[in-house]
Structure formats: C-alpha cells, structure tokens
Structure 1
C-alpha cells in the first residue's frame, strides 16, 4: 500500500508539472503575440513619419515653385 500511495503522489506531482508547462507555453505564446503587435505598431508609426516627411518635402517644393 505504501508504494501505491507514493505512485499517486508522484502522478499528482507530474500532473502539476504538465499544467505548469502548459501555462508557461500559453504565456510564451501570449508574449509572442504582444511582441508581434508592438512590432506592427512601430512599423505603422515609421510609415506615418515617412508620409509626414514626404508631405513636408511636397510643401517645400510647392513653395519654391510657387514663389
């Protein structure tokens, strides 16, 4: 009976380990998604700044050509 009890305890411990592993994997996936989102946002900001620069250059050219 003692060995059976030990086996049950071991199984419980291993089961907890599996749950922890699953939780860690989920956390890693969520972190990866968040990082991916942040990268996308940074890219969008860069594109917006590029567009602003283009508009400024256009305005400069128009002023130079207009006057």
Structure 2
C-alpha cells in the first residue's frame, strides 16, 4: 500500500522489526541490571535476527527478508 512516497507496508514492517529489537535489548539490560551489562554488537545482531524471524512467522505470506 502506497501513500504518496511512503510504502506503508514496508514502513510498518521496518518499524515492527526495530521495535522488536529494542524490546529485546531492553529485556537484556533489565536482566543484567545488577552489573549494567550492555548488549554486545553480536547480541544486537542476534536480536535483529530473532525479530526478523518473529515477523516472518507472523506474516508468512509477506516474503519478509533482511536488508
């Protein structure tokens, strides 16, 4: 679905991926609050992969792929 120059579906999916990554990063920090351990770059990449997999499961007919 296109509105002006905005691909609404793509924007929505990108937003959901970013939100899912943020949620996982937040959960990680909360679980490790006692030491204020921050997620590594590998952790963030794993979060992204997990978020993408979740969206692919949620929207199996959309052909969602990582960029």
- Give the TM interval when normalised to the shorter protein: 0.3 to 0.5
TM-score by length of structure 2 reads 0.42
Higher relative contact order (Cα pairs below 8 Å, separated by 6+ residues) = 2
Higher helix share: 1
TM-score by length of structure 1 reads 0.42
